[in-house]
Amino acid sequence: MRETTASRRLPARALWLALPLAAALASACKPDLPPGGYTAVSHRQTPATPEWSHPDPPPVTPGSAVGGGGAKIVAKNLPAGVTQAMVDQGQELFGQTCTACHGAGGAGSSVAPPLDDREWLHISGAYPELVTIINAGVANPKQFPGAMPPRGGGNFTPAQIGQIAAYVYALSQQGES
């Protein structure tokens, strides 16, 4: 009988030794953990971007940033068949597409020449030449890195091309009396 009593005591001793270990493991568990058992790691969350670091750009109405803050230019010395109304409409059309390369009011940029002076790189600046170069584009510019696509990359009608040419012509004549 002695063997029976000794064999019963061994599992009881193991139980008494395992009980504190089980209690220590149970105390480490937190009952308020989300499903899956892990809490969110704060350094992996995307921080909120301050509103001031990316402000919205100011609204721009097409054509409003050209010709001196949206003021309509008064054309001087217009060639035959070109009217002030064509210049005004050309200013609006220029603001929709052409300002991306030629800058506001045709002042020029790092990719395209200014159009608000009498210096021309590929033509003499006559109105018919302006119509032709706007229609054809400039595939190999002499001084600037940006090639001008036909019609400036816009989907303009022949009448609209004439209006844009009228505006560019009027821009180039602003210094003349």
- pLDDT interval class at 69 (50, 70, 90): very low
Rounded Cα gap, residues 43 and 24, in angstroms: 29
Q: What is the distance between the alpha carbons of residues 61 and 95, in angstroms, rounded to a whole number?
A: 8
Q: How many CB atoms lie within 10 A of CB 87?
A: 24
What's the rounded mean pLDDT across residues 99-111? 87
Is 29's pLDDT higher than 80?
Answer: no
Mean of all residue pLDDT scores within the chain = 77
The full set of domains in the chain, from first to last, is: 84-172 (1.10.760.10)
Stretch 149-176: mean pLDDT, rounded?
89
State pTM to two decimals.
0.60
Residue type, 34: P
Q: Is the pLDDT score of 168 beyond 50? A: yes
The pLDDT confidence band at residue 65, using thresholds 50, 70 and 90, is very low
Cα separation, 28 vs 21, in Å, equals 11
Look at residues 91, 92, 95 and name the one whose alpha carbon lies nearest to residue 75.
Answer: 91
